[in-house]
Amino acid sequence: MIRKHSLVVGPFQCNFSLLVCEKTKEAVVIDPGDEFERIKQLCENQGAQVKYALHTHAHLDHIGATGALKRWSPQTLIALHPDDKKLYDMLPKQGELLGIHNDPAPPIDHFLKDGEIISFGTHQFSVIHTPGHSPGGVCFKFEAGALMDEPVLFSGDTLFQKSIGRTDIWDGDNQVLLKSIKDRLLPLDPETKVFPGHGMSPRIGIEARENPFLK
């Protein structure tokens, strides 16, 4: 089994996740956005050997602690979809526009591809490219039985409980986002548990029925 540990980090309240293979202690982190010392403490407390730092997209509240993580754990592979590299390289500029200091982000080690299977420990999951909130937005999908009895989706800022990601900043596109959600996410098992980049965790079936932005 995979053990999931979560933190809400930074002024934008980003949902950070640490996923640890119970058998091997190999792990991945998703969206190390801020408060690296808390992230480090959580990883150390769990004895986690972090294989990948996975990013659902490259807005600063999801990548702000990536540099510190890489310095602490040089073997960790930084993973991002290539369509968000421009945003990733703009980290200091993103911070400047919001009055936040950020050092340049470290080089990307692995470019994610739609449909790719990522492995860690004795487990694996798939990458779903869901552009719209940003050009390189992705979700991570775990089959039933890996994390929970039902399937699990880490949706970043693509899909929230009763909401969707904003599209008015940095190459966002509302029509592209809606198409991504309707074509790539809503066809998933309705029992799929969604862990978004911010806020509470809905299920795909409930969002398909009740999310006002998808009507």
Q: Alpha-carbon distance 192 to 203, whole Å?
A: 5
At 65-81, the pLDDT tens digits run 999 999 999 999 999 99
Q: Tell whether pTM > 0.95.
A: yes
At 31-64, the pLDDT tens digits run 999 999 999 999 999 999 999 999 999 999 999 9
pLDDT at 215: 85
Cβ(143)–Cβ(153) under 8 Å?
no
* Domains and their CATH numbers in the chain: 2-214 (3.60.15.10)
In the β-sheet with 14-21, what is the strand arrangement from edge to edge?
2-9, 14-21, 26-30, 49-54, 77-80, 110-111
Residue found by looking up tokens 């979809």 in the block: 81
Task: Please report, for residues 10, 58, 73, 214, the alpha-carbon distance to residue 14 in angstroms, rounded to integers and kept in the order given.
Answer: 7, 13, 21, 23
**Helix, strand, coil tally for the chain in percent (to 5):** 25, 30, 45
Residue found by looking up tokens 């509470």 in the block: 200
